[in-house]
């Protein structure tokens, strides 16, 4: 299965969910989640019509930028970001989706200030209160939005969430609706009309539900590129080294 077919399938799913919700499918960006993918795979996705790529890891972002792999698409950062790595991201991506703490927010603003630019950001919200995930608890989102509004190095564009994997179809609808409502509430409180228009939510397994609930950006990896190497079922033999040969000292 090629990119063209995968992209067509995903776009059809987005369009169907959008129309059913009375929305314009053109208001939803299909962002390719490119973690573990090669520069060649990214180029092929862009050639097939992908207009936005999202990276999780600073190292991969840096390598793919050096390769000029994203040419023709915008680049986003969607993964966990440590404060000591913001210099590799700020000013190099059009949007940082994963601003998950006050400390990170301040570090991003400070770096943007230093470079004399304004970095577009989203606040990541930990809706399900999962200890394993980063993000602001929903009840702290308004304060974080107010703080972002006072830092001149950042421009708050909206909210992002990564709910737990949906256990059944429609299982994450409640989280997506909660994120949308949170954005509405914050917008009302802080009085911004033009900003906070981005809702980054929905992945391979649940993007239709996210679009139904108002997503403006779905982040899709495996439905576009195929399963990730790290996503092999437990008990599978280890993947072969890149040259396809087994190490000589391994016994089978």
Ligand X SMILES: *Cc1c(COP(=O)(O)O)cnc(C)c1O
Kindly list the residues in this chain that would bind ligand X in the complex (CB under 6 A).
33, 35, 56, 78-79, 162, 203-205, 219-223
The nearer residue to ligand X, 14 or 151, going by C-beta atoms, is 14
- Name the helix (H) or strand (E) containing 104: helix 102-115
Contact 122, 159 (CB under 8 A): yes
Contact 161, 182 (CB under 8 A): no
The nearer residue to ligand X, 154 or 220, going by C-beta atoms, is 220
- Name the helix (H) or strand (E) containing 115: helix 102-115
Record the tokens describing residue 134, joined without a space: 């980063």
The minimum distance between CB 198 and ligand X, in angstroms, equals: 14
Report how far residue 3's alpha carbon sits from residue 7's, in angstroms, rounded to the nearest whole number: 6
The minimum distance between CB 48 and ligand X, in angstroms, equals: 16
The minimum distance between CB 189 and ligand X, in angstroms, equals: 27
The minimum distance between CB 6 and ligand X, in angstroms, equals: 11
Contact 81, 117 (CB under 8 A): no
Give backbone dihedrals phi and psi of 26, rounded to 5 degrees, phi first.
-70, -15
Task: Tell me how crowded residue 60 is: count the other CB atoms within 10 A of its CB.
Answer: 19
- Name the helix (H) or strand (E) containing 102: helix 102-115
Name the closest residue to ligand X (Cβ): 221
The nearer residue to ligand X, 14 or 203, going by C-beta atoms, is 203
The minimum distance between CB 204 and ligand X, in angstroms, equals: 3
Read out DSSP for 196-208?
Answer: --EEE---TTTHH
The nearer residue to ligand X, 56 or 126, going by C-beta atoms, is 56
The nearer residue to ligand X, 193 or 236, going by C-beta atoms, is 236
**Closest by CA position to 94, among listed 118, 74, 66:** 74
The minimum distance between CB 207 and ligand X, in angstroms, equals: 8
Read out DSSP for 48-77?
Answer: TT--EEEES-HHHHHHHHHTTTTTTSEEEE
The nearer residue to ligand X, 35 or 192, going by C-beta atoms, is 35
The nearer residue to ligand X, 147 or 166, going by C-beta atoms, is 166
Report how far residue 200's alpha carbon sits from residue 183's, in angstroms, rounded to the nearest whole number: 11
Report how far residue 153's alpha carbon sits from residue 120's, in angstroms, rounded to the nearest whole number: 9
The minimum distance between CB 149 and ligand X, in angstroms, equals: 25
């Amino acid at each position: 299965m090629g990119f063209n077919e995968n992209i067509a399938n995903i776009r059809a799913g987005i369009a169907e969910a959008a129309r059913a919700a009375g929305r314009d499918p053109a208001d939803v960006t299909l962002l390719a989640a490119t973690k573990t993918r090669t520069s060649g795979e990214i180029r092929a996705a862009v050639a097939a019509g992908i207009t936005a790529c999202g990276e999780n890891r600073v190292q991969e972002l840096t390598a793919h930028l050096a390769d000029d792999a994203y040419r023709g698409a915008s680049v986003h950062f969607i993964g966990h970001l440590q404060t000591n790595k913001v210099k590799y991201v700020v000013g190099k991506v059009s949007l940082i989706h994963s601003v998950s703490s006050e400390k990170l927010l301040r570090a991003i603003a400070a770096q943007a200030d230093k470079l004399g630019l304004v970095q577009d950001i989203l606040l990541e919200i930990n809706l399900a209160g999962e200890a394993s995930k980063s993000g602001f608890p929903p009840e702290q989102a308004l304060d974080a939005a107010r703080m972002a509004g006072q830092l001149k190095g950042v421009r708050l564009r909206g909210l992002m969430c990564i709910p737990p994997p949906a256990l059944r179809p429609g299982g994450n609808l409640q989280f997506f609706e909660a994120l949308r409502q949170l954005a509405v509430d914050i917008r009302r409180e802080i009085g911004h009309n033009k900003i906070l228009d981005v809702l980054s939510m929905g992945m391979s397994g649940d993007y239709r539900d996210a679009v139904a609930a108002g997503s403006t950006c779905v982040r899709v990896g495996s439905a576009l590129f195929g399963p990730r190497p790290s996503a092999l079922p437990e008990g599978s033999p280890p993947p072969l080294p890149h040259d396809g040969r087994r190490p000589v000292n391994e016994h089978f």
